[in-house]
Structure 1
Amino acid sequence: MADSEGGQKKRVSIAAPPAGGGGGGRASKAPPRRSMGPRQMSLKPFTPDFRGDSDEDDIVGAAGSVQPPPTVDQLPQLVEQDRGGTHRDLGGGAVGESAGGESLVKAGDLAEEGRTVRALVAQLCEYFFKAGWATGTGGGASVRVGGPSEGRPWRVFVAPSGLQKEDIVGDDIFEMDMEQNITVPSKTPNLRLSACTPLWFVVYRLRPKARCVIHTHSINALMATLLDATESSPALRVTHLEMLKGVGNHAYDDVLEIPIIDNRPTEDLLADQLEEALKNYPKSNAVLVRRHGLYVWGDSWEQAKAQCESFDYLFECAVKMKSMGLDSALRPVTVNYHAESRGKNRTIDMIMNGAEEEKKEECG
């Protein structure tokens, strides 16, 4: 994000730092954003150099107008991936192997890195609003970069509180250190840190590899916490659903346990329960808050986003299965693939053993 001009913020394209600090680096332009709020509408538009020929992103409603969020299949692709796996273009820069936990910007340009991550956090918030997970200023996101593996302190970027998530811009984002001190305040005056801030740091402290934490107010997540009518279950259990593979650490026939903690009047009061849940369920990458929503994290922002989508899919399945009289925690009654698999393995073993015997006879 650039500094304000005439009281109005403007967006600019952020080029990836050239390799080795020299020229010739490939410019990486921020993807188009669908301006929905009056604050975003005051920003100068992107230059038309992004990938894609559609002009639909330039069409906006009147300031302050209410527009329903698009359906999921209309959501813009947040990143356009280089299938070679070496770089990904994101909100405002280039990612070098970010899914493997590397820094978002590799050339040591900290100012560039800060602009890139702020743009990313703003666009994640907008994406989750459009998915229906962050309405009414609810939800939030945090991304951190740096750390001991890179020989420098962590830089933690946190979305603000009280803003419409579809209307957040990079200048609104706070930067903090791991002691929860604000190192770079929001450029927008009178903003407060997200109420989720203490919880971001619980996750970062107990999951040292985590680089992104997301909080949603998804209806699917909330309803999943109410599948137990007594509202006393310590966890939601799901098994034998293909999307289990999308949440990390689980296969189709594993039993996924997502811990559930009870809601409190304010977000910060959840910290002790969240810490206990992370310790008691080391395999889980998410925690549900009863009658509230979901916290999910990942070793990169891409992983956290993908897992958040996968968890929401599983929650919707669990709720719909309940309405059909099915229990998402139980193994299907007609499952026989284990026996089939064992039978196939025995057949293969017999064939291989027979081949070995024939080979021995030939050698004899």
Structure 2
Amino acid sequence: MPQLVNGQWIKDDVAASEMKNGAFHREPTKFHNWITQDGRPGPDGQPGLPAEAGRYQLFVSYLCPWASRTLAMRNLKGLQDVIPVSISGAMIGDNGWEYEIPQDAGSKVEKISFQHQLYTASEPHYTGKVSVPVLWDRKEGRIVNNESADIIRIMNSAFDGITGNTLDFYPEQLRPTIDIWNALIYDAVNNGVYRSGFAKTQDAYETSVSAVFDMLDKLEGHLQSHRYIAGEYLTEADIRLFVTFIRFDSAYCGAFKCNIRMLEDYPNLSAYTREIYQWPGISETVKIDQIKRGYYSIAHINPTKIVPKGPEIDFNRPHDRDRLVGRGVFAG
């Protein structure tokens, strides 16, 4: 995949560091500053910035599940009028993530046409992958954070004093449970589908895809008796899992060869996915046409770039999740 090398955009496939013995290894994100209500440091001592309406901007793509986490949390926390959003095209071209219309990113920088311009504006000699999402500081003209797991936690609490929305998707008493599930799900499912799809040896592929379906089997059993991943409340663990599930049958099953079974073959997983899709504000963050077009445009896994017509899945059809005890969202 193209990337920045010493601040220069290189269109050739230079991201060999993400492949080891035919297996895909995700490059860590590099921007980890935080936003808090009063500008104090983040939870691990990261430099903090104060929450201000209109100061920060979210750069995303509907294709990307990591970006979709942040779009979902933005809506659940009522931040639509606090954090403006810029949506890139669905397909990653020679110039990476591209915006059809140049995006205003504040007075410190020129309008943005390519995602990599945000990275070099923040660090002129940046080397590494250029990803979405990016949480951008319009006032200072730099990236605050480009790690989706961080961004959704920032959104969970930093702007509560502005919006008055105190719904808590990472409640303190559930954090140990959420953290355990997040780690398991990230490794086997969120990132596991990418390891399967980007594998370059048969052994690497089979190891990864087996781990994906082992975890799906475990989750099917867990969600038989639990309304949500951490129990009775919808939490960030559900949002992190949902963005992979909503893409599974339309993209990962075909494009990434995660085809031992479809998600629709799992009664609990498919009903769980429909329930979260039907939560207010969630469905509008899902664009299946862009998801399919984006994944099937990746030349090295689909050289013809033909986008399949199916499968046809109605995410609005009824689910039976209300048979289980659920309390909605924890109110802080």
TM-score w.r.t. the length of structure 1 is 0.24
The structure with the larger Rg is 1
TM-score w.r.t. the length of structure 2 is 0.26
